[in-house]
Chains A and B, each alone.
Chain A
Amino acid sequence: MLHYLLIVSKEGHIHFSHYFTSVETNAQPVREAGAIAKCLAADRESCHFMEDRKNTLIFRWFGPCLFIAAADQEENELMVYEFLNLYVNSLHRYFGKFSERHVLYNIDRLHMVLEEMVVDGEIVESSIRNILSPIQMLDNVAKS
């Protein structure tokens, strides 16, 4: 089960966070800060899986942004790694050339894509076409 996904800048500012299960809002910033510090400290060449209390952190750099996902320890780490890849690919398909600017100014779309892919911490849809179709439909309705 996935717990949360963060997109973080090189300096450690959070651009985007999405929680798949509900967490006490007070505990959030502390936990996030700890996880971000650990992942930023790791070398780019080193292993992309880390342990953080009860969860495993899986992170990946895409350009200037660091994507961090937290999952249970029993979860297959390579699968979550592939999931991050899938997420970025869907965003590429949706926005055209996906860049950091898109992360900053299109947070609601990022949330929506994630909501289509993951429900209650489980990956529900892996086909990019199916993921993007509700969102594209929404765009068409908003335009007309």
Chain B
Amino acid sequence: MALRKVKGNLERMFDKNLTDLVRGIRNNKETESKYIAQCMEEIKSELRQDNLAVKANAVAKLTYLQMLGYDISWAGFNIIEVMSSPKFTYKRIGYLAAAQCFHQDTEVLMLTTNMIRKDLNSQNMYDSGTALTGLACFISSDLARDLANDVMTLLTSTKPYLRKKSVLLLYKVFLKFPEALRPAFPRLKEKLEDPDPGVQSAAVNVICELARKNPKNYLSLAPVFFKLMTSSTNNWMLIKIIKLFGALTPLEPRLGKKLIEPLTNLIHSTSAMSLLYECINTVIAVLISISSGMPNHNASIQLCVQKLRILIEDSDQNLKYLGLLAMSKILKTHPKSVQAHKDLVLQCLDDKDESIRLRALDLLYGMVSKKTVMEIVRRLMTHMDRAEGTMYRDELLQKIILICSQNNFQYITNFEWYISVLVELCGMEGTQHGSLIASQLMDVAIRVVAVREFTVGQMALLLENAHVIVGPAAARSSIAEVLYAAAWICGEFSNLLSNPKASLEAMVRGKVVSLPGHIQAIYIHNMLKLYACIMAQAEEEDDTEMIEEITSLLQERLPLFVSSGDLEVQERASCILQLVNYVAKCHKAGDKVGTDLALLMSGELNPVAPKAQKKVPIPDG
């Protein structure tokens, strides 16, 4: 018996504790999983021992392993054993393991209720404190229901250490067991006037979180918070109170008006950047909720914008980022005040940091006007050339198009310029927004009649240079969609083309078969439109040479498409091939079919409003 005990002690000497485990893992970097599997076995055998010290050691190691990603849910019961130890050091280890590993659906939690209750009511302050902190992590609705009363009793404990923690735990209890809120609320309110600043701060935190979900119920507490705000010097608490006011002001505009003065004072006097940022944010929220007719609030907006400018000009990247973030909030309601700082925002576009550049881009979107749009887009495009990283360039491209197409092209005065911008954008490799560019091109071509000729000319150029676009990089991008638009525009408005034959030749070129199916289909369809147009013209001029040329060109090239893998392409190609053969036959017989063909393609397409289909009366039956 004694020998067994000695043997046991000897074995215990060779147990690894947590430090040894960490050191071991670091030393065995190559064979980590094997080493850890071995350690797990050791831990399992340690857990089978009766000695609580050994078990606690094992649980501590398990917590570390869980952090590395290994599953330890099988040890739930052992963790509870350690938690119930009378010795504080072991109890603490158990609670820590529970906090990091258990969650509300863990089944073994049901066994813990009485134990936790005992700990909460313990004479030892640190026992209760550990229980409170740990409970915050793994409390479930059953535990909340059973332990709510005990936690509330602790609210009135003589030790501020416990009052502080129980106030915060109450929030979690409310989340899991909402019925506890009503009886507990008066006591929570009392804590706002607790002599200990830590407890006060905890109460403020809890009410802030509650108010975020349901601001109405906490409006009555506003005067208490006001007093706290003007009297406290604890920055952490002030930030929370100001955030709380930000949540309450949308409901009570009078509160907002009263807040402006103390907030402005704080903005002037504080040296803490975090507090300054919070005040500015709340002032913005207040001013948005108050009606904008008040003249003296202009001064507050100016103050905010001025302070934000200082933030953005600071060399610290964090402040720049936050300054830009807050500016975009002001932009929504007071665009004029922000527009004066356009130069600063454009400067931020050149910043090394990508997140700052993206924020500046967001701001620019709201700052354009008819006069500035060209300059801004020009800047953005030079930026795009210099930028690395295709995702960022893509973002830029999308933003450029969004800026220009805002509000039905509200800010564009010169559409020819816009078309040339779009064509330039087509030259960008690796974009995912090819269809966006394509839809813009079609939109402008259809709706802006004045620039149609220019557009068509540009599209013809695009078609002829299609081989540049359909390069090896095209597989990853959707830039080929632009060809879709180009072909369609050339086909539909073929009467405006300067050299329709060249465009037709560009369309039937061999490389076209490497394009995606739906684009090829459009190509074929528009080949027919072009063919009809050229035919009509050629017959008028009795240009038999031209007629023969284009007919044979199509007869030569269409079979390539007929054997394509895509069904739509096949169908259209064979349809059109038959038509062309028929036309050739008619010509051999001496008939003129030009005008008939042209009739096939006549009729202007107009853009249709999205709700138009609803207005079509449903036929009876």
> Which residues of chain A are near B101, meaning CB under 8 Å?
25
Instruction: State whether the Cβ of B436 lies closer than 8 Å to any Cβ in chain A.
Output: no
> Which residues of chain A are near B102, meaning CB under 8 Å?
22
Query: How many cross-chain pairs have Cβ atoms below 8 Å apart between A and B?
Result: 137
Interface size class of B (residues with CB under 8 A): 35 or more
Q: How far is the CA of A122 from the CA of B165 in the complex (A)?
A: 10
> Which residues of chain B are near A81, meaning CB under 8 Å?
274, 318
Q: How far is the CA of A78 from the CA of B319 in the complex (A)?
A: 9
Interface of A is mostly: mixed
- Segment at the interface with A among B85-93, B253-261, B476-484: B85-93
Instruction: State whether the Cβ of A99 lies closer than 8 Å to any Cβ in chain B.
Output: no
> Which residues of chain B are near A25, meaning CB under 8 Å?
66, 71, 73, 101, 103
Pick from B69, B205, B277, B355: contact of A47, CB under 8 Å:
B355
Contacts A78-B274, A81-B318 given: A119-B169 contact, CB under 8 Å?
yes
Closest to B317 in A: A47
Instruction: State whether the Cβ of A89 lies closer than 8 Å to any Cβ in chain B.
Output: no
Closest to A72 in B: B212
Q: Are B317 and A45 in contact (CB under 8 A)?
A: yes
Instruction: State whether the Cβ of B587 lies closer than 8 Å to any Cβ in chain A.
Output: no
Q: How far is the CA of A130 from the CA of B71 in the complex (A)?
A: 35
Contacts A43-B352, A79-B236, A82-B274 given: A48-B137 contact, CB under 8 Å?
no
Binary flags per residue of A128-141, CB closer than 8 Å to B gives 1, else 0: 00100010011001
Pick from A18, A79, A112, A119: contact of B168, CB under 8 Å:
A119
Instruction: State whether the Cβ of B172 lies closer than 8 Å to any Cβ in chain A.
Output: yes
Instruction: State whether the Cβ of B239 lies closer than 8 Å to any Cβ in chain A.
Output: yes
Interface of B is mostly: helix
Closest CB of chain A to B130's CB: distance in Å?
Answer: 8
Instruction: State whether the Cβ of B13 lies closer than 8 Å to any Cβ in chain A.
Output: no
Q: Are B96 and A111 in contact (CB under 8 A)?
A: yes
Instruction: State whether the Cβ of A37 lies closer than 8 Å to any Cβ in chain B.
Output: no
Instruction: State whether the Cβ of B292 lies closer than 8 Å to any Cβ in chain A.
Output: no
Q: How far is the CA of A84 from the CA of B33 in the complex (A)?
A: 32
Q: How far is the CA of A23 from the CA of B138 in the complex (A)?
A: 9
- 17 other contacts beyond A119-B164, A122-B168, A141-B88, with CB at 8 A cut-off? A17-B67, A20-B136, A22-B138, A25-B73, A25-B103, A48-B317, A74-B212, A74-B243, A78-B277, A78-B318, A78-B322, A79-B236, A104-B22, A119-B133, A119-B169, A122-B209, A124-B198
Closest 5 CB pairs of A and B: A78-B274, A46-B353, A22-B103, A120-B136, A119-B168
Q: Mark B residues whose CB is within 8 Å of A.
A: 18-19, 22-23, 26, 60, 64, 66-69, 71, 73, 88-89, 92-93, 96, 99-104, 126, 129-130, 132-133, 136-138, 161, 164-165, 168-169, 171-172, 198, 201-202, 205-206, 209, 212, 234, 236, 239, 243, 273-274, 277-278, 317-318, 320-322, 352-356
A-B contact pairs, 23 of them (CB 8 A): A14-B67, A16-B67, A19-B99, A22-B137, A25-B66, A25-B71, A28-B69, A43-B352, A47-B321, A47-B355, A48-B318, A74-B243, A76-B278, A79-B274, A79-B278, A81-B318, A107-B64, A119-B165, A120-B168, A122-B209, A124-B198, A138-B126, A141-B88
